[in-house]
Chains A and B, each alone.
Chain A
Amino acid sequence: MTEQDSLFARGYDPQAFFDEMFERGASARPHYAPLFEELSRLSHGAFQQRRKDADIQFLYQGITFTVYSQEEGTERIFPFDLVPRIIPAPEWERLERGLAQRVTALNHFLQDVYGAQRIVREGKIPADLVFGAQHYRREMVGVPVPGGVYAHVVGSDLVRDKSGEYYVLEDNLRTPSGVSYMLENRQAMKRVFARLFERYGVLPIEHYPQELLGVLKACAPLHAAEPRAVLLTPGVFNSAYFEHSFLARQMGIEIVEGRDLVVHDNRVYSRTTHGLEPVDVIYRRVDDDFLDPLAFRPDTLLGVPGLLAAYRSGQVTLCNAIGTGVADDKAVYTYVPDMIRFYLDEDPILPNVPTYLAARDDDRAYILDNIEELVVKSVNESGGYGMLVGPHASAAECQAFREQVRAHPRRYIAQPTLALSRHPTYVEGEIAGRHVDLRIYVLCGPGKVTIVPGGLTRVALRSGSLVVNSSQGGGSKDTWVVGERAGRR
């Protein structure tokens, strides 16, 4: 290999952003040093070869998502970047504590708004914001849930700003996806960079499915001595189907569709080759609206008629509970630090991104005046839809959003456009800086929060783009939490 072939031969410019790997002056941060050393030794050709190997493994294992618009679906693998993100253990430990605190408060909040409603009565959060939220479910008021756990699985998205400080950008409390990519990325990295794993003491994440199964069983209805859990999927055409079957296999539980289940006398059964078998816990990856045509949308066959009644009677546990979406409403998000103070009497460990609520008069005026500088988001959408990145938008787009904000203030929030941190990423034949975020998966059982050390680093592959969602051209990276061994050898 000649010097010119090396991956970093052409240099790397962190620009004005916080770069995860490099300090100012382009020297690698200590915990990245062994990785930098290894990558510098690789030629472009060798790196390309490893990339190809990883891609083909993803393809053959069917780790693909399908675009069904064409006559025959086109299958794509999620773009996976081989340069891992590395987080030192002390830094991780703070994130872990911060998220555990946050998710605990969010579960208190859910139990409260479907129960005594103290937080509203005491005026900590406006009533119309909570009860007017699109995903607030009146059907759940006064319904006890096992262990008081509403959100069993939470995916929180963190970003870092110019100074490297972490902020929580949003929490996903309905059916967060992507954890299978976290696990499969790790498998791929172990095959491709086995030697690096030796040098770093990367903390393991492979026990995630077992932890999840533990949570599901711990939340089973009391009558079930040996609870039977199933995973409810919308079906093979859903873009996350791979993940559903992956998790079901890893946990050793059955994957079912709505048509496989039937409710009789408030008990849920699955239809088997030898008759009906009772079901105790449903890890559902189907949205609230589609769960039960008798209670929610009547025009869909994805769900199970009578499921809500069975759930309300306590005969079956749903994970996550119905109605958790009220807590990931982007306007309600603004109040999470207040929830932490209110329910836990603690100071928030991790800050929110400063957020302007269009529903507040002052904030709305500020949004309308400064829309070109802001990121405006619809409160109910996810996946990178329904948002405006002011600095990257045309005057016409800004104007259109202004009118929307004026017409429907409750539906919009705005945040300053953060200079998200960047991470060296292999694109178009070279290593270049790309913006990243970090999704961390939090598991919540009765009285116990578990976070496996790692997460899914999502990367915006287009130069300058701030949108990391896979549906918007994002890719992902393996995320390593490294202990003391890092850089020792």
Chain B
Amino acid sequence: MLSRVAESLCWMARYVERAEDLTRALAVHFHALLDAPHEDAAEHGWASLLALTGEEAAFRSRYEGIDEAEVLDFFVSDAKNANAVVALISRARENARAVRDQISSEMWEHLNRLYFAVKEKDAADFAGGPYDFYRKVRDGSQAFSGITHATLTHGEAYHFIQLGKHLERASQTVRLLGVRYANVNAQQEGTPVATLQLISMLKSCSAFEPFRQTAGSRLQAGDVMEFLLLHRQFPRAVLCCLGSCGDALDAISASAPKRAPRPDRPRQALGRLRAELEYLDLDDVLGPRMDDFLDGLLGKVHHLGDEIARAYFSTQVILPAARTSRGDQQQQQQQ
């Protein structure tokens, strides 16, 4: 498979996943705020949501206050926000267009519909809060996964899509925990506020019910963090996502024609990361050390992404920067 194609497939999946994760965080947050006691708590809450994409500074530079309407606008359709949901779906679609010949017609058509659905959202979509919009994006993203599973040959293209999706999901879960854990940790364990925080954190990962179904789980910070970080079967838990990345990398590696073996740095990086989590003693990092730990973890997930890019996407010869080629592409005469 062409390197460029593999890269586009991977990013197509990442953008769809990211759009779903961000809208979920937005919707859960909105609902949690309905229970929040004070005005300033609300403001603080919105700020923590902005921290999720690391774009609080960009937001503050363009918006005066920080209220629901502004945050929604910023997250959903702000043309200057590269991680706005509309921008993410649009980029997913542009990547899909670039590999239109490699994905199924059903996948393309679905992504195309999703794009028009989020692009043509109107005020009515937000009249009752962001929930309806979230459902639209979530359904779109999850149906996309299903359609991909059901219509695309489970070959190399499929595995690059899985790789992108699970890598993104792992990194989103880590980010979310990083933002949320501080609030959780600030509360006295067992108080109603602490419990609400934990529930909201679980819901941000669609994990509340699965967590409840796990035998012996208590709504305590330790149990919740263990579930979201280290569970091996819950599909949004970090370790589980990394496992899926591993499956995809194994399959990609196995699809290589028989040649002299190349060092497999992505699999090495992933192996180290999984081992670290598998042998983690959670008590070592609970409490004030969690912040640093999650930061480090996020860095390693990003490093894994870099290794994948180096191994599979950038067999490019670096050419001296000439002018952008967009002008040339448009310039081609159509006979």
* Residue ranges of A at the interface with B (Cβ–Cβ < 8 Å): 59-62, 68, 71-72, 155, 172, 174-177, 234-242, 245-246, 248-249, 254-257, 259-260, 262, 270-276, 285-287, 290, 299-302, 328, 381-383, 470-471
Chain B interface size, as a band, is 35 or more
Q: B293 an interface residue at 8 Å Cβ cutoff? A: no
Question: Beyond A254-B2, A300-B322, A471-B334, is A273–B252 a contact (Cβ under 8 Å)?
Answer: yes
8 Å CB contact of B116 from A59, A273, A299: A59
Question: Beyond A273-B252, A299-B322, A301-B325, is A238–B330 a contact (Cβ under 8 Å)?
Answer: yes
Q: B289 an interface residue at 8 Å Cβ cutoff? A: no
Q: Which 8 A-B pairs have the closest CB atoms?
A: A245-B100, A172-B335, A234-B329, A248-B101, A237-B329, A274-B256, A249-B101, A271-B315
Q: Which residue of A lies closest to B111 (CB)?
A: A62
Question: Beyond A245-B100, A271-B315, A301-B322, is A257–B4 a contact (Cβ under 8 Å)?
Answer: yes
13 contacts between A and B (CB under 8 A): A60-B116, A68-B330, A235-B98, A240-B334, A242-B100, A245-B100, A260-B2, A272-B3, A273-B6, A274-B259, A290-B328, A383-B334, A470-B334
Known: A273-B256, A286-B332. 10 other contacts (CB 8 A): A60-B112, A60-B113, A60-B116, A177-B335, A234-B332, A249-B101, A259-B4, A276-B315, A300-B322, A471-B334
Q: Which of B4, B257, B316, B317 has the largest count of A CB atoms less than 10 A from its CB?
A: B4
A301 to B319, CA, bound (A): 9
Q: Which residue of A lies closest to B110 (CB)?
A: A60
8 Å CB contact of A62 from B112, B317, B335: B112
| Residues of B contacting A470 in the complex (Cβ-Cβ under 8 angstroms) | 334
| Residues of A contacting B330 in the complex (Cβ-Cβ under 8 angstroms) | 68, 237-239
Whether B100 pairs with A62 at a CB distance below 8 angstroms is: yes
| Residues of A contacting B160 in the complex (Cβ-Cβ under 8 angstroms) | 273
Q: Which residue of A lies closest to B86 (CB)?
A: A72
Q: B125 an interface residue at 8 Å Cβ cutoff? A: no
Question: Beyond A271-B316, A383-B335, is A234–B2 a contact (Cβ under 8 Å)?
Answer: no
Beta-carbon contacts under 8 Å, B291-335 to A: 312-313, 315-317, 319, 322-323, 325-326, 328-330, 332-335
A274 to B3, CA, bound (A): 8
A469 to B116, CA, bound (A): 28
A255 to B99, CA, bound (A): 8
| Residues of B contacting A177 in the complex (Cβ-Cβ under 8 angstroms) | 334-335
| Residues of B contacting A235 in the complex (Cβ-Cβ under 8 angstroms) | 98, 325-326, 329
Q: B109 an interface residue at 8 Å Cβ cutoff? A: yes
Digit string of B160-187 for contact with A (CB within 8 Å is 1, else 0)?
Answer: 1000000000000000000000000000
| Residues of A contacting B316 in the complex (Cβ-Cβ under 8 angstroms) | 259, 271
Whether B317 pairs with A262 at a CB distance below 8 angstroms is: yes
Q: B105 an interface residue at 8 Å Cβ cutoff? A: yes
Q: B70 an interface residue at 8 Å Cβ cutoff? A: no
Whether A236 pairs with B101 at a CB distance below 8 angstroms is: no
Question: Beyond A61-B109, A255-B101, is A174–B2 a contact (Cβ under 8 Å)?
Answer: no
Whether A61 pairs with B100 at a CB distance below 8 angstroms is: no
Q: Which residue of B lies closest to A251 (CB)?
A: B101
Q: B15 an interface residue at 8 Å Cβ cutoff? A: no
Q: B46 an interface residue at 8 Å Cβ cutoff? A: no
A470 to B332, CA, bound (A): 15
